Structure 1
Amino acid sequence: MSASDAIDFALAAYREDGVWQVAELTPDHAVDVETLALALRRFPGDGGAVGLVAVDEDFFVVVRVAGPRTRVMLSDVSAATEWELAATVVEHLGLPLVDDEDEAEPAGDLELLSDLGVDAMDLAEILDDDELYPDEMLSEVARALGFGDLFDDVVGLTSA
């Protein structure tokens, strides 16, 4: 299975005139941090664009671009041992590569969405919920940011 086949979804979310917009990205946009950031910079957006990528029901990545700045958060640092996208996040963050036995811990900038309404504590609480799959975690994040229904429609989650 190629890396792009494992992508559950890749989305860009951005606010235009204060209203959230969600656009699908191709799996090819989600092969590494640099390609994803480049794709996100195409979107207008007040305050940049947010990329949400879920991979193989295993982990997710949030990338936020604003101007030249790229901020990144990985839901599970141990995913870097198996997945190229996760490995590029770890490399982007300048972290040492972990081994398979490491705990599933998030890595990166947990504050990357705080000015939009999801601070590090909110994000950590969502990440700590072992009952949720990555798409469900991202749905919670999207809901907290104010575009949960749009997110659920695009990725095919039914609202509870």
Structure 2
Amino acid sequence: MSDQFDDVDFALAAFREDGAWTVQELTRHHLVDVETLGEALRRLPGDFGAVAMIAMDEDFFLVVRVAGPFTRVLLSDVTAADEWELAASAVDFLGLPQPDEDDEQVPAGDLELLADLGMHPVDLGVLLEDFDLYPDEMLSDIARRIGFGELFDDVVGLTNA
């Protein structure tokens, strides 16, 4: 994965404590695989666990949510596993076969992982079907809907000056 670190657009964790959201950047050490990312998220405080959002090379994103012993994963494009180790790790975590060159660009994982925070699975599915949006735009929309959009945009650099 070391060669792929340069292609990380951003990697951040968000958690809500006492009703207030906190967003912080994740380090490269957290991005080895889904298991390592889950361990890092478990160390964060949070009333409802923690959520990681990672975007790679304006190509795909990964959302990982940890609450207690449970880890839930959403990969925006299963075909990313052909090229990206972190995406391959997500596909393995989900127990899916690795994609081949004939597979279509489809999401994989749990569309309900953010439902209790305000992102309805149907809305998430519709968002994932919009191939005109970049991963940072999709994740910004998700962050806004679950309550930390401004913080997300500030950390990622989407805030207008």
Matched with 1:50 is: 51
5+ long unaligned stretches in structure 1: none
1:133 match: 134
Q: Secondary structure at the match of 1:2?
A: helix
- Which stretch shows the higher mean deviation, 118-127 or 136-145? 118-127
Specify the alignment match of 1:83 in structure 2.
84
Alignment of 1:101-140 (within 5 A): 101-140=102-141
What per-residue deviation string (whole Å, max 9, x for no partner) do you get for residues 99-129 of structure 1? 1232110000010000000021111111111
SS in 1 for 2:14: strand
Paired residues of 1:32 and 1:89 also in contact (CA < 8 A): yes
The runs of at least 4 consecutive aligned structure 1 residues that moved more than 3 Å come to none
Partner of 1:105, secondary structure, is coil
2:61 paired with 1:68: no
Distance in 1 separating the partners of 2:126 and 2:59: 18
Q: 1:85–1:3: structure 2 CA closer, same or farther, 3 Å change rule?
A: same
For residues 147 and 78 of structure 1, what CA distance do their matches in structure 2 show?
29
Distance (whole Å) between structure 2 residues aligned to residue 159 and residue 52 of structure 1 = 21
What CA distance in whole angstroms lies between the structure 1 residues aligned with 2:28 and 2:6?
7
Amino acid at match of 2:136: D
Aligned residues of 1:14 and 1:22 also touching (Cα < 8 A): yes
The corresponding residue for 1:8 is 9
Q: CA deviation at 1:159?
A: 4.9
Question: 2 CA distance for matches of 1:107 and 1:22?
Answer: 25
Give the structure-2-normalised TM-score: 0.95
Q: Is the 8 A contact 1:79 1:86 kept in 2?
A: yes
Overall identity of the aligned pairs, in %? 67
Structure 1 vs Structure 2 CA RMSD: 1.4
**Alignment partner of 2:3: what SS?**
coil
The alignment of Structure 1 onto Structure 2 pairs a total of residues equal to: 160
Q: Any conservation in 2 of the 1:139–1:148 contact (CA below 8 Å)? A: yes
